[in-house]
Amino acid sequence: MSDLAEPSGAPPLIEVRDVHLRYGPVRALDGVDLTIREGEWLAVSGPSGSGKSTLLSLLAALDRPDRGEVRFRGRPLSEDAHLDRYRRKDVGLVFQLHNLVPNLDARQNVEVAMFGTGVRRGARRRAADQLLGWMQLTDFATRRPAEMSGGERQRVAIARALANRPPLLLADEPTGNLDPDSADNVVEVFRKLHHSEGTTIVMVTHDVSIARAADRIVMLERGRIVDPGATASVA
């Protein structure tokens, strides 16, 4: 397991404080408090409609709470005037559906994430090739999504999420549409990121076997944390 000790006085990577969010009559989140340490791998689990994906959207600054606060390294996201930069540089997003651009090959799909960052074309290509190699997809660089399996497409999506070296990776049911072998491959990629790169990972999953790979499992029900999580076993 990674050493999660933080420098003295350093704030947690993410702090969620008394967060409430409603969608019409539905209480999507109802007083959520959560602290995520730098370098932690956190699994968020619970039944459908419990607020898991809503919580991830708040951490990605794709939505705002009605009440309460989300802080990144001690800075309230509500006070950040450049949330687009936060989403581009500090956060990598992986979804259940890979959301790759169908008419671009794997390399180009990874490069897309670096557009607008000031990285030159040659450097973008080298970075994309390095990430694809790390995902064991070197031979797939010029293949389009339709020419790859579901697991291969999801690994390309993870490479794209990591293109700008974000400290925080958010994954929403990343193995939900994969067969067991492909799901295991994705979990192994996350394990490498966690142990070798120190990436902080927050992963939403309903699959208990996938959740157990994380350092900690937080359980949500009806928009509330019902179990803040004990340390999970690491395979």
Mean pLDDT computed over 83-93: 88
Instruction: Identify whether 59 is part of a domain.
Output: no
Query: What is Dmax (Cα atoms) for the chain?
Result: 51
Instruction: Identify whether 150 is part of a domain.
Output: yes
Instruction: Identify whether 3 is part of a domain.
Output: no
Give the span between the Cα atoms of 187 and 178, in whole angstroms: 11
Instruction: Using pLDDT thresholds of 50, 70 and 90, give the confidence band for residue 146.
Output: very high
Instruction: Identify whether 203 is part of a domain.
Output: yes
Instruction: Identify whether 73 is part of a domain.
Output: no
Number of domains within the chain: 1
Domain housing 148:
40-53+79-227
Give the span between the Cα atoms of 3 and 195, in whole angstroms: 9
What is the tens place of the pLDDT at every residue in 217-230? 999 999 999 988 76
Residue ranges of alpha helices (H) inside the chain are 52-59, 83-85, 106-112, 121-134, 150-161, 180-192, 208-211
What one-letter code names the amino acid at 147? E
Instruction: Identify whether 17 is part of a domain.
Output: no
Instruction: Identify whether 58 is part of a domain.
Output: no
pLDDT of residue 230: 62
- CATH code assigned at 211: 3.40.50.300
Instruction: Identify whether 193 is part of a domain.
Output: yes
